[in-house]
């Protein structure tokens, strides 16, 4: 089950399409979906989580809490729509494209992909691009 929660003045237009895309991605990566809760929020909300739980006093676009066990995916993904909007401007892409990238980025972490090294980040970006191509934008 995938749920979308809103802690700011924002709402996805296409929850059903996004849910299917996420579920399909998880299946294609040979994992099984248990439960993912997406929480869309503002910078202040996500910053508080970043400080409280990760001891990072910085702004970020996404924080994911992974409760997965083996191949069973479960977790909470918090996304700052303010950061996504700023990043979209910085990367010269649409807000929707950047939002979709961040949404699938969290899922790919749950599927075992990392992005701390340059090589890992390159693989992560390739996977993001692949799955973005699976979604009609």
- What pTM does this model have? 0.91
Crossing angle of helices 95-110 and 81-91, rounded to 10°: 110
The pLDDT of residue 8: 93
List, for residues 58-115, the tens digit of each pLDDT value: 888 999 999 999 999 999 999 999 999 999 999 999 999 999 999 999 999 999 999 9
Is 130 one of the annotated binding-site residues?
no
For residues 124 and 105, the answer to whether their CB atoms sit within 8 Å is yes
Is 115 one of the annotated binding-site residues?
yes
Q: How far apart are CA 13 and CA 9, in angstroms?
A: 13
The pLDDT of residue 118: 95
List, for residues 19-48, the tens digit of each pLDDT value: 999 999 999 999 999 999 999 999 999 999
The pLDDT of residue 122: 96
The pLDDT of residue 71: 96
The conformation of residue 58, written as its DSSP 8-state character, comes to S
Is 105 one of the annotated binding-site residues?
yes
What domains lie within the chain, and their CATH numbers? 2-134 (3.40.390.30)
The pLDDT of residue 137: 47
Give the E-state strand segments of 42-135 in sequence order: 62-66, 72-80
């Amino acid at each position: 089950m995938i749920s979308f929660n809103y802690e700011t003045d924002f709402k996805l237009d296409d929850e059903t399409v996004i849910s299917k895309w996420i579920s399909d991605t998880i299946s294609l990566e040979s994992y099984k979906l248990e439960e993912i809760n997406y929480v869309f929020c503002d910078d202040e909300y996500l910053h508080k989580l970043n400080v409280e739980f990760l001891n990072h006093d910085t702004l970020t676009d996404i924080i994911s809490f992974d409760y997965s066990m083996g191949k069973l995916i479960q977790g909470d993904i918090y996304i700052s729509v303010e950061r996504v909007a700023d990043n979209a401007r910085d990367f010269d892409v649409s807000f929707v494209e950047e939002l979709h990238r961040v949404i699938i980025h969290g899922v790919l972490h749950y599927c075992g992909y990392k992005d701390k090294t340059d090589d890992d980040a390159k693989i992560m970006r390739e996977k993001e691009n692949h799955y973005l191509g699976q979604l009609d934008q």
